[in-house]
Each structure stands twice: as structure tokens, then as C-alpha cells.
Amino acid sequence: MDQPDYADLIAAALAARRQAYTPYSHFAVGAAALTGSGTLFPGCNIENAAYPATVCAERVALFSAYAVGEHDIAALAVVTDTDDVARPCGVCRQVIAELAPRCTVILLNLRGDQQFCTPQDLLPHSFGAAHLSNS
Ligand code: THU
């Protein structure tokens, strides 16, 4: 099967990165979620002087999709300005595993490096809803 065309998704993640609010780390991250129906939801990291209140770009994108009832996440692109592509943090891996379990994750940097992976690659043996049903 042909690889889907992710050009618009990647462009959305690049544009979202330019909206990052990063007065503390100065590390801008852009993300975009693509739904099965073709809608794009951008996300950027949004920091806070109370540092733990910061939200990562990946979660902003996924939460934006969920906020309008879009649960069918086909792909998630994440862009950073790093030598190698950057991998999502642990919290985002957990959120991706639950909210976008079958998506294609595309990690990119500004040099044009791309890496495709799955939520399972990022977080194997993850904790999930099934574990709660025994309690
Ligand atoms: N950040 C993300 O947006 N996504 C990640 O997966 C890793 C980290 C953000 C959070 C913070 O604003 C900055 O990058 C430095 O950690």
C-alpha cells in the first residue's frame, strides 16, 4: 500500500511550532494530529512560570481533537529543532497510547529528518484501561 501523503500534517506541525510559548526553556515543539476524516489539529508546547503546569505540544494537539469529539487519530507529527529527531516525553507517550493507540507517529526535525513509529514502539507494555477493570 502507498504511504499516505503527510505533507499537510507536517506543514501544520511546523506552523504550530512557531506558536510555541516557551519563555523558560526556549525549546519550541510543534505537533499536529490528523484524524481519519482528514481534519488537522495543531498543538505547540505552552509553558508556565509554575513549571509543572507546562503542557507539551503532543498533548495540546490530541486534547484539541478530543475536545471536539474527534477520537479517530490516524497520525501525529512532532517537530523539534534538534540534531536528531526528538522523542516524546514519558507523559506524552502514555497519553498517545490511550488517545491515539493506532496512529502513525512521525518525528521530525527542521533538517528534514523523519522517523516513523507506533505508540507501541514508544511505550511498550503500557498501563491502560484494562488494568483498572480488575480493581
Ligand atoms: N516538550 C514537548 O512539547 N514535547 C515533548 O514530548 C517533550 C518536551 C516541551 C515541554 C517544554 O515546554 C519543553 O519542551 C522543554 O522540556
Q: Strand pairing partners for 87?
A: none
Specify whether 58 is catalytic.
yes
- Of 18, 47, 54, 56, the residue with max ligand 1 atoms within 8 A of its CB, to mutate for a pocket test, comes to 56
pTM, 2 dp? 0.96
23-78 confidence digits (pLDDT tens): 999 999 999 999 999 999 999 999 999 999 999 999 999 999 999 999 999 999 99
The kind and range of the H/E element at 67 are: helix 57-67
Residue 98: CATH number of its domain: 3.40.140.10
Considering the domain boundaries, does residue 28 fall inside one? yes
Question: pLDDT tens digits, residue range 98-109?
Answer: 999 999 999 999
Domain total for the chain?
1
Residue 55 belongs to what domain range? Answer: 7-132
Q: Is 110 a pocket residue for ligand 1 (Cβ < 6 Å)? A: no
Residue 79 lies in a domain: yes
Per the domain annotation, does 1 fall within a domain?
no
**β-strand partners of 31:** 43, 78
* All cell numbers assigned to 129: 484501561
Residue 73 lies in a domain: yes
* Nearest-CA residue for atom 3 of ligand 1: 56
User: 3-class SS at 115?
Assistant: strand
